Structure 1
Amino acid sequence: MKKFILFFVMNQKLNDYDSAWKDIIEVLFRDFLDFFYPEISKDIDWSKGYEFLNQELKKIFKDHKVNKKYIDELVKVFLNDGSEKWIYIHIEIQGYKEDSFNERLFIYNYRIFDKFHHEVITLAVLTDDDDDYRPDKYAVNRWGFELNMKIPIIKITDYANKIDELEKSNNPMAIVVLTVLDSFKAKDDAIKFNLKINLIRKLYKKGFDKDRINSVFKFIDWILNLSDQYELKVRDEIYKLEGESMPYVTSIERIAKNEGIVEGKKEGKKEGKKEGKKEAAINLFKEGISLDIISKCTGLPKNELEKLINKKRR
């Protein structure tokens, strides 16, 4: 049975974004291909499902000496013509120019071919903000020998003049792209806060299912990362949007951990004891955070928090 592998590369700033991108790919795989590579998506028989083959990737790269800054996914899919194909998705977490980028993609492309002896297709989505950086070719031409690799590249900055189209799209990847574009404008927490709130509102209005909301929310939350003060205000705004139902608690868990609340609950540390929680609650209230959110963070009942706040005001 003839097989091929699609090798996908995503170039992004290195930070804690890797898990967010990994989640986007694994949860929104079809949306991802529908949005960036619709012709490929049309060839896939989605009714037969697909399979992520992460263990196979470990076999490919276990001896490859590289500075590991990447998320790797190997996905097996079936085509409409009944044949089995493999798609290799390689997400690169870095946002700077790399002179050897296309050479490295050629090496990875060959390593996959050498392992599986199937046709390999390499794609790339670049999320850096340099419009001129488009490493889409690798070639060797000498003494009659020719080797040419052309990579179909998607450049996120190309969507900057398609904002209206992104706003109208019902594909969750459109909000992912808007998030990356907004991250280029976010110079301080005040700007990032407004951008983040607007993106979350757009996400809610689309009416996506829970998995899509959680995945895109996580992406927004990590790409537009804020200080604890602003993150709690974001949680406050989300609470107003959805009441008791919080879509994703990434930032709240991080802030609670910083306050010592999470560790205290799990391990009985001093910071997590009731007095420590009360002190944390007072600090959060001073930052303008609602009692509902403080209650979620600390685990203290709302009526107890009201008494605590009133006592401090006397």
Structure 2
Amino acid sequence: MGHDTAGRADDHDSPWKEALEVFLPQCLALFAPTLHASIDWARPPEFLDKELQALAGPRRLAPGSPDGQDPAPDQGRLRALPGPLSPGRLYTDKLILVRCRDGRFARLLIHVEVQGGTSGPKSRRLFARRMYQYRYRLEDRYGGSGNHALYSLGILTASRGGDSHLVHHDEFLGQGVRFTFPVVHMAQWLDRWDALEALAPSNPFAVVVMAQLTALRFRRKAARLDPKVDLMRRLAGYGYARGDIDALARLVDWMIALPEALEPDYMRALEALEQEHAMTYITTPERVGLRRGRVEGQAELLLRLLARRFGAIPDTATERVRAATAEQLETWSLNFVDATTLDEVFGA
């Protein structure tokens, strides 16, 4: 598959939340096999979303934010927000309670960085610090020994490789902390695509990875039609259970977004696959609902960014953003990166 470098931002945060909830065992089997083997999967995992929100606390600006402030970790939200210095970067966190084979319970913190590009040393240092912040708050609330273990796992979607573990350390005059945790460099599978395809028939999460990497390889949405159809054709032939097929079709559609002009071509390709494999994929009304949900999410994110940089937004501008098409929102989001006035965002 070829590369396409003209990038636009995609909304991957919500699909990753769903992917981890639906395919957690398969995710860990692929990315953390030792951890997977230690878990008693006879007891369903419990997703602790409310506990995670309570740990995060009030919103904070990420380091390097426009106002130059970097609040102390105890005063702010741990999950950094996408901003003008990191367009296209989103974060997904899941806190999960599992029972281990030795009878202990463990809380797993999985943090996915959905990156718009490769991550440099500074980004990884900030990533390691965020993981440490989560860790010490979890230890403070639940403890990290005895019958309640803690485990942290980081996933970097656009990283092609690096150390198997990242380290956060903060030392002064021989005193300090050092926190080490495993990290998955997901884009390394770009160089192991054949191996990923070989795993896909037995591990549905491999399809999730293929969808994310396809969006990464083909950043210009107009070039994604054929790769997306090819992935759906493979999915149809894997023999998954109906529920897994439905979930994966939804995730593929969400991760590999197409321009609206190509939607009719994609629907015709799906209809051909339906006839060939005697199955029904996502219907047109459901697809319209998903697309509308993505557009609404993009609009609300842009409004939050505009309010953060320019203050109160006029009602006319708010209505304009909420009524915009996906293409208009993408154009304005790109304009926002360098804009110094609200008019510049809208190209005025």
**TM-score scaled by structure 2?**
0.63
Could you tell me which residue of structure 2 aligns to residue 231 of structure 1? 263
- Whether the aligned pair in 1 keeps the contact of 2:222 and 2:259 (CA below 8 Å) is no
Give the distance between the partners of 2:223 and 2:137, measured in 1 at CA.
43
Contact persistence 1:20–1:215 (CA under 8 A): no
Q: Distance in 1 between matches of 2:156 and 2:180?
A: 15
What is aligned with 2:41? 46
Conserved? CA contact 2:164–2:184, under 8 Å: no
Supply the distance in 2 between the matched residues of 1:50 and 1:61 (Cα, whole angstroms). 21
The one-letter code sitting in structure 2 at the alignment partner of 1:234 is: Y
Comparing 93-102 and 127-136, the one that deviates more: 127-136
1: CA distance between counterparts of 2:25 and 2:287?
27
- Residue identity in the other structure for 1:115: R
Partner of 1:124: 154
Match of 2:326 in 1: none
Instruction: Work out which of the residue numbers 91, 98, 101 in structure 2 matches 1:77.
Output: 98
Matched with 1:103 is: 129
Partner of 1:296: none
State the SS of the aligned residue for 1:151: strand
Could you state the TM-score of these two structures normalised by the residue count of structure 1? 0.70
Partner AA of 1:160 in structure 2: L
Aligned to 1:205: 237
- One-letter amino acid of the counterpart of residue 89, structure 1: I
Distance 2:172 2:291 in 1: 58
Distance 1:129 1:251 in 2: 31
Q: Is the 8 A contact 2:109 2:153 kept in 1?
A: no
Q: In structure 2, what is the Cα distance between the partners aligned to 1:56 and 1:35?
A: 26
Q: Residue 170 of structure 2: which of 140, 161, 165 is its match?
A: 140
Deviates more, 1:244-253 or 1:221-230: 244-253
The number of aligned residues is 246
Hey, what's the Cα distance between the residues in 2 that align with 1:14 and 1:108? 27
- CA distance in 2: counterparts of 1:115 and 1:94, whole angstroms: 30
**Cα root mean square deviation, aligned:** 2.8
1:20 to 1:38, Cα distance in 2 relative to 1, 3 A: same
Match of 2:141 in 1: 115
Cα distance in 1 for partners of 2:268, 2:238 equals 20
Gapped regions of structure 1 (runs ≥ 5): 1-12, 259-314
CA contact (8 A) 1:102 1:135 kept: no
Match of 1:173 among 173, 191, 205: 205
Q: Contact between 2:225 and 2:258, CA under 8 Å: does it hold in 1?
A: yes
Gaps spanning 5+ residues in structure 2: where? 1-7, 59-75, 82-89, 295-348
Aligned residue identity for 2:50: Q
Aligned residue identity for 2:194: D
Q: Deviations over 1:76-110 (max 9, x none)?
A: 11111122222222333443542522112211211
Query: Structure 2: how far apart are the matches of 1:151 and 1:255?
Result: 36
CA contact (8 A) 2:112 2:157 kept: no
1:248 to 282, 288, 299: 282
User: What is the match of residue 11 of structure 2?
Assistant: 16
Kindly indicate whether the alpha-carbon contact (under 8 Å) linking 1:50 and 1:77 is maintained by their aligned counterparts in 2: yes
Counterpart contact for 1:123–1:151, Cα < 8 Å:
yes
Which position in structure 1 is the counterpart of 2:77?
65
